[in-house]
Amino acid sequence: MKYFKEEENHIICQLCRHYCKLKDGQVGICGVNKNINNQFVNLVYAHPIAINVDPIEKKPLYHFLPGSTALSFGTIGCNFKCPFCQNWDISQEKNVNEDITVPPEQMVELAIKNNAKSIAYTYSEPTIFYPYAKDVGLIAKEHGIKNIFVSNGFESPAIIEDMASWVDAANIDLKSWDKDYYKKVLKGGLDEVKDTLRLMARVGIWVEVTTLLIEGQNDSDIDLNEMAEFIANDLGVDVPWHLSAFHPDYKMLDTKRTSLDTLNRAKKIGKKHGLKYVYLGNVASDGNTYCPKCEERLIDRSGYSASENKIIDSKCPKCGEVIKGVWK
């Protein structure tokens, strides 16, 4: 697909829903996509800032190849301005280190060398380096390696339709249920993220949702009930909801950590709305997957590792209940 539209005296970036209008020499909100001579140039193409081999559970994805590893990488830049960002030194950086160069073929070679079953586009917002990600992903697909987006969910609808051809799974942040907070503080949009989630589910991408809970900001019973209701009704009760504990970082160093009581309260609300799989993150808790029908323990997790997986042909071996996910 073409990543920009040409108009008189400027181009319009098509990667995310900001649709930045860029005159010659201008850079988008993300800081890494630029109009150079009326051509769209992704400044971070082949210039990753971080590469690691991670457990898939760290993304977090709990119903996607449990116990496997993902080659994870990201570039600088982001289209949001979250004050609690845990990777702010990457996401808010504007200077591209061109001394680091990893072309798509070499990135896939790294995945193969490390026996990674998937490649995760993460750390910063992968939508802003989509041209690079897609070129990596298409080669990965040829080698039987799956592709994962860990995203804030602000992709344009055109990008989501394009993702359907090569992206297998996504973990999308649902950061708040307050439209004003999304717009004024995060510099994004709640309705757009909800639309992204619906579209991804519709085109067949396996979706899991993460909410970083910050006490006093996005953890009210009203907000949590509406989030859970949205996931259950619009995405489906089989979609896992990851509730993660906030820890002080970036511009919110004076904000306290999220308590286990708050996380458990949110989990109870999720279960009340029929969500079958609600997991807690960034705390010591039971991260196992249980059959929602007979409560058989199906996946035994400790931290970020899955030591046991009893699921056979997407079913609970004890009662035959279908367990939604990507298991092989």
Is position 35 within any domain?
A: no
Q: Please state the domain count of the chain.
A: 1
Classify residue 1: in a domain, yes or no. no
Assessment of whether the complete model's pTM goes beyond 0.85: yes
Asked whether residue 322 is domain-assigned, the answer is no
CB atoms within 10 A of CB 94: 11
Residue 307 located in a structural domain: no
271-303 pLDDT tens trace: 999 999 999 999 988 899 999 999 999 999 988
Residue 77 CA to residue 111 CA, distance in Å, equals 23
Could you tell me the pLDDT band of residue 305, with boundaries at 50, 70 and 90?
Answer: confident
pLDDT number for residue 224: 98
Residue-range definition of the domain harbouring residue 268? 45-285
Q: Which of 210, 292, 269 is nearest to 245 (CA)?
A: 210
Cβ pair 188, 80 in contact under 8 A: yes
Q: How many CA atoms lie within 13 A of 181 on its CB side?
A: 13
If phi over 0 gives left and psi between -120 and 50 gives alpha, with beta otherwise, what is residue 127?
Answer: alpha
Inside any domain, residue 143? yes
What is the number of residues in the chain? Answer: 328
**How confident is the model at residue 303, as a pLDDT?**
82
User: Do the beta carbons of residue 124 and residue 90 sit within 8 Å?
Assistant: yes
Phi, psi of 84 (to 5 degrees): -105, 10
Q: For residue range 93-145, what is the model confidence (pLDDT) as tens digits?
A: 999 999 999 999 999 999 999 999 999 999 999 999 999 999 999 999 999 99
Number of other CB atoms surrounding residue 107 within 10 Å: 22
Per-residue burial over 70-91, b = 16 or more CB atoms within 10 Å of its CB, e = otherwise: bbbbbbbbbbbebebbbbbebb
CATH number of the domain that residue 268 is part of: 3.20.20.70
